[in-house]
Structure 1
Amino acid sequence: MEVFEIIKLSHTSKRSASRKLVFMSQCTGTQLVTHYIHGSNNENKNNFEIIDEKTVYSGWRTIVQRKVRMRNNKVVDFDLVGVKTGDSAVLIFAWDTKSKTATLIREYMPASNRILWGLAAGLVEEKHDNHNTELAARHELEEECHLKNGKWIPLLHQPTAMDKYSTTTIQCYLVLDPEKEDNPKALDEEEDIEIIPGVTIPEILRWVNNGEMNLVGGFGCLLAIEKLRELGEYP
């Protein structure tokens, strides 16, 4: 509904409304922009029109070439990176309220050829009850941290874009007091992960600052730390 309320603004407000919509589209993918494009024929010249889109590579990752008419009417080609099994992913920050520590992972990152700190994370796929986000997150926490249950708190009002050129969106969760899983689901074949419990927030902030954690993991950690402050779990 918010899309159409913005479209109905007066002529003097349309430019600012357009900026707001563009910002929101970067957080939610192309769906909101598409609604706006089709919501008002008079404003098409101020929006981003997807003219053509095709998959040019399809392995585990996909490359989609998208042709877009920009607001200045120029036509631009973009190469977008996706994942074959779905366009959603999850991050999970596990917190022990008694010890005031988190469980993180150290994982091999093939692009940088390094082992970096990170959070339990993974894709939301068809096998997760037809792309159920929280179920996917529960599975990933079990697989990568050997933890289950606990109190689950989503950290975003809606999934956000992973990157400017990625079609994947991410939802982040804070889990309070998960329990140990003695018979966890197996890791994926390509994963090399070490589980590290008892991690303090000052350690996490240092690793984020020193570039020892991947960017997405750092984003999830900062969201979780802010929520922990809000809950009185961290000063």
Structure 2
Amino acid sequence: MSLNINTEGTAATILSERVAHKRYITVWDRTTQFDDGRIIQWDIVGHDSPYPTFVVVFTYNTKTKTTCLLKEYVQGTNEIKYTCVAGSYDRRKHRYIEETVEHELSEEARLKGGTYINLLPKTHSPDGISELKWGKNRFIPFLCLDPVKDDTPMARDAEEYMEVVHDVAVDELRNIITRAEMMLPSVQTSWMALEYLKEQNLL
């Protein structure tokens, strides 16, 4: 058997799906069938919203060659971890995906402006990158070149508990990742951003 990479959300046939629980997070009871005939039930977790679910934004100052990270409270494991700027693509208040980037940069990192680059490969599903094996959420990774300080930032959500860390060098970023101190969507976005910056001779 040879399994082909599938990022389209069609790797198995979904036979049925129902909501088992819903509050901030939704849990679905899903039944799927593989090509070999096996039928399996799963618990799937995520937000009950269209894809992509959220954005992750890696900022980069081309003059200082540094990034801006957050130290943020992670409720699932009750930890403080490093993250990039990230937030939900809420179609009730965001007209398009880049507006989510703009709002989250202002709210979380107190930054504005810059050049936005969507890092999702053109061959990939536009729904975004899957966050977790058992999770339904998908995200779009972005690079923001040369944002500046926002003197009138947008308000953060009530539950957000974070500290902004400016001027993080690329070598220190790599150390943070290898010390396992960064959340995985931020690791994915950082890796893709660094590869883009290397290709553009910006590192």
TM-score > 0.5 by shorter chain: yes
CA distance, structure 2, for counterparts of residue 150 and residue 172 of structure 1: 16
1:76 aligns with 2:73: no
1:12 corresponding residue in structure 2:
none
What does 1:3-152 correspond to in 2, within 5 Å?
A: 19-20=3-4, 23-24=5-6, 27-28=7-8, 30=9, 33=10, 48-87=12-51, 88-129=53-94, 132-152=96-116
Q: Deviations over 1:134-169 (max 9, x none)?
A: 111211111110111111111112421112211111
Normalized against structure 2, the TM-score is what?
A: 0.91
Larger-gyration structure (1/2): 1
List alignment gaps of at least 5 residues for structure 1: 1-14, 34-46
1:177 corresponding residue in structure 2:
146
1:86 Cα deviation (Å)?
4.6
1:43 corresponding residue in structure 2:
none
Q: Is the CA contact 1:86–1:123 (under 8 Å) kept in the aligned structure 2?
A: no
Q: Deviations over 1:172-201 (max 9, x none)?
A: 111111121111111111110101110000
> Segments of 4+ in structure 1 off by > 4 A?
none
CA distance, structure 1, for counterparts of residue 12 and residue 83 of structure 2: 35
Structure with higher RCO (Cα < 8 A, 6+ apart): 2
List alignment gaps of at least 5 residues for structure 2: none
Cα RMSD between the aligned structures? 1.6
Normalized against structure 1, the TM-score is what?
A: 0.79
* Higher helix proportion (structure 1 or 2): 1
Report SS of the residue matched to 1:174. Answer: strand
Task: Calculate percent identity across the aligned residue pairs.
Answer: 28
1:38 corresponding residue in structure 2:
none
